[in-house]
Amino acid sequence: MKDLKRTIAIVCGGDSSEHDVSMHSAQGLYSFFDKERYNIYIVDVKGIDWHVELEDGTSAPIDKNDFSFIENGKHIEFDYAYITIHGAPGENGIMQGYFDLIHLPYSTSGVLVEALTFDKYVLNSYLRGFGVNVADSILLRRGEEYNEEEIEKRLGMPCFVKPAADGSSFGVSKVKNIDQLAPALRVAFMESDEVMIEGFLDGTEISQGVYKTKDKSIVFPATEVVTSNEFFDYNAKYNGQVQEITPARINPDTAKRVAAETSRIYDILHANGIIRIDYIISKDKEGNDVINMLEINTTPGMTATSFIPQQVRAAGLDIKDVLSEIVENQFK
């Protein structure tokens, strides 16, 4: 008799500095999914080593022809891939292209959206055309010459130096004076061939998740990020050096405007599944709140303490139901 439960792969790992973070997200997702409704497997993708973790502690290689595997002599095919790779190849369109080729539904946005949102500079340039506020920035490619004085004149100090394509704040530095620029660029170029130098926005940092199905649109309560670190860096994100307040302590009218902007950006991108958008709420000369988009995370962290599970709880929802809705939306 055919198993009527859908078989889902939680696809994790990846080739970036965020491999271990992704593995933690996979464990979180495994604990969240409805096991009575789905057969769940964790698939670790690293380079050309793709394997599925089995219940007995062993692993089985994935057949890349159809993303299947053998367990106890039985050939098992997946019905759906929940991608939680942070960084390449799961957040930049490559994994999505593979799944498109083999016609396997997946949880994230498509190839173009993933590639677009993975490159911070390209994303900012694109969304600016839709009237989204973003910080001024300069793109540098490896080996290109640059003029420190011109950078300081245009962006001011402090500024941020970050890999154009990466996440988890690896390679990100806050540059307080021009002498710190060259060392910060060296660190960023270790993570990416393109580096973005971004103007500093002073204000309250918040992060907001959203997902939409054919039937509904859910924007979660925003989380306020308060860290004693220079910025929301890797240690703040993953080693607890941060205070996260959900819902964020912002003006109710501003909270409504942020939620509307989050929904609008989701639609502009034709996104799919859960995405998380980070903002800085700054002040204009009259003291009014200004919403500035920082970056978009299309495979947000999914550990028990990550923003999205926190926001789901704050919205009075059950993460198990949210994940089921996202999966089933692909089959409607």
CATH of the domain at 165: 3.30.1490.20
Q: What is the mean pLDDT of the chain?
A: 93
Q: Are residues 20 and 50 in the same domain?
A: yes
pLDDT tens digits for 215-230? 999 999 999 999 765 6
Q: Do residues 86 and 299 make contact, with C-beta atoms less than 8 angstroms apart? A: yes
Do 127 and 258 fall into the same domain?
yes
Reported as a pLDDT band with limits 50, 70 and 90, residue 231 is: low
Q: Stretch 254-275: mean pLDDT, rounded?
A: 98
CATH, residue 244: 3.30.470.20
C-alpha 300/C-alpha 168 separation (Å) is 10
Question: Are residues 145 and 236 located together in one domain of the fold?
Answer: no
Task: Note the pLDDT of residue 2.
Answer: 54
Domain that holds residue 302: 115-133+201-329
Number of structural domains (the chain) is 3
Q: Contact, 50 vs 44, CB < 8 A?
A: yes
119 and 234 share one domain: yes
Whether residues 99 and 23 share a domain: the answer is: yes
Please tell me which of 164-173, 242-251, 320-329 the model is most confident about, judged by mean pLDDT. Answer: 320-329
When pLDDT is cut at 50, 70 and 90, the band that residue 201 belongs to is very high
Return the pLDDT at 229: 59
159 and 87 both lie in a single domain: no
Residue 304: predicted pLDDT: 86
Q: Pick the last residue of a domain from 153, 176, 199.
A: 199
Do 78 and 142 fall within a single domain?
no
Q: What is the pLDDT of residue 1?
A: 45
240 — pLDDT class (breaks 50, 70, 90) = low
| Residues 191, 211 within the same domain | no
Provide the pLDDT for residue 89. Answer: 96
Residue 270 included in any domain: yes
Q: Answer whether residue 175 shows pLDDT above 50.
A: yes
- Over residues 156-182, mean pLDDT: 86
